Amino acid sequence: MATQTQRTPAASSRPKTSGWLAFATIYLIIAGALNLIWGVTALSKKDFFNEDGLVWSNVQFWGWMALIVAAVQILTGLLIRARRSGGMIIGIVVGMVGALVNFVSIGAYPLWSGTAMVCSLLVLWAVTVHWEEL
């Protein structure tokens, strides 16, 4: 009599994730794209901005700073997507700095700063709590 063996279900090669790292990736890439647009606009169309309202420096300086921040945010999002530990570390720094900057500017843009601060804190939470999903 022939014996029949039962197949065991193959373990999925894809790990189960919570989706928080995907949120961090998407938020950082969107924030980077918005900063990229803002920086290019500040450099090319200075008349869109009220330069007299700046406390320090000029619109051109802040345009370049926005481009640098955009590059860091997009790179961090891509590194988190690739599940690199360097992306997680940079994500912690970007989340902390983003929350601080939005807290400081809450008087000028209450709704926008509050929303962006919550999203930055969620990115910070996502990359610290879900570190094991690397």
Q: Decide: 49 and 42 in contact? Cβ < 8 Å.
A: yes
Residue 69 resides in a domain: yes
13 within some domain: no
Cβ neighbours around 44 below 10 Å, total: 9
How many structural domains are present in the chain?
A: 1
Secondary structure letter of residue 62 according to DSSP: H
Give the model confidence (pLDDT) of 69-123 as tens digits. 999 999 999 999 998 999 999 999 999 998 888 888 787 778 888 888 898 999 9
pTM higher than 0.75: yes
> Domain range for residue 29?
20-46+57-133
pLDDT at 105: 77
Is residue 7 in a domain? no
The verdict on residue 15 lying in a domain is no
Percent share of the chain, pLDDT over 70: 84
More confident position, 118 or 51:
118
pLDDT at 11 over 60: no
| pLDDT band at 133; cut points 50, 70, 90 | confident
